[in-house]
Amino acid sequence: MSQQYFLGIDTSTTSSKALLVDNCGEVAAVASSPHTLQIPKPLWSEQDPREWWEAVSASIRSVLKKAGIGGESVAAVGLTGQMHGLVLLDGAGEVLRPAILWNDQRTQVQCNEIHQRIGRQKFIQITGNVALPGFTAPKILWVQENEPDVYANAQHVLLPKDYIRYKLTDEYAMDKADGSGTVLFDLRQRDWSAEVLAALGIPLEWMPSTFEGPEFTGKITTEVATVTGLKAGTPVAAGGGDQAAQAVGVGAVQPGVVALTVGTSGVVFATTSSALVEPEGRLHAFCHAVPGMWHFMGVMLSAAGSLQWYRDTLAPGVSFDDLLKEAETVPAGSESLQFLPYLSGERTPHPDPLARGAWIGLTLRHGRGHLTRALLEGVAFGLKDSFTLIQNAGLSHVWQVRASGGGTKGALWRQILASVLEAELVTVNTTEVAAYGAALLAGVGAGAWTDVPAACATAVKVTGSTCPDPTKVEAYRRGYALYRELYPALKPTFSKMIG
Question: What residues contact residue 235 under an 8 Å CB cut-off, 6+ apart?
Answer: 76, 77, 216, 218, 219, 442, 445, 446
Residue 234, class by beta-carbon neighbours within 10 Å (0-12 exposed, 13-18 middle, 19+ buried)? buried
Q: Is the distance from CB of 383 to CB of 260 less than 8 angstroms?
A: yes
Catalytic residue among 178, 242, 352, 385: 242
In DSSP notation, 347-383 reads -SS--BTT---EEES--TT--HHHHHHHHHHHHHHHH
Contacts of 420 by beta carbon, 8 Å cutoff, 6+ apart: 377, 380, 381, 383, 384, 476, 480
Strand runs labelled E in 91-238: 99-100, 156-158, 173-175, 185-186, 191-192, 209-211, 216-219, 235-237
Cα–Cα distance, 7 to 478 (Å, whole number): 46
What is the spatial distance between Cα 358 and Cα 336, in angstroms, rounded to a whole number? Answer: 14
325 Cβ neighbours under 8 A, 6+ residues apart? none
Count the neighbouring beta carbons within 10 Å of the beta carbon of residue 117. Answer: 15
Contacts of 386 (CB under 8 A, 6+ apart): 267, 268, 283, 297, 298, 299, 300, 348, 349
3-state DSSP assignment of residue 456: helix
What letter would DSSP give residue 250?
H
Query: Count of alpha carbons within 13 Å of 428, Cβ hemisphere only?
Result: 32
CA 349 – CA 225 distance, rounded (Å): 45
Type of residue numbered 263: G
Among the listed residues 168, 99, 178, the one whose alpha carbon sits nearest the alpha carbon of residue 140: 99
Q: DSSP class of residue 319?
A: -
48 in active site = no
Q: Give, in order, the Cα–Cα distances in Å from 179 to each of 99, 304, 376, 447.
A: 16, 26, 33, 24
183: helix, strand or coil: coil
d(CA 86, CA 286): 18
CB atoms within 10 A of CB 51: 16
Q: Which residues carry out catalysis? A: 242
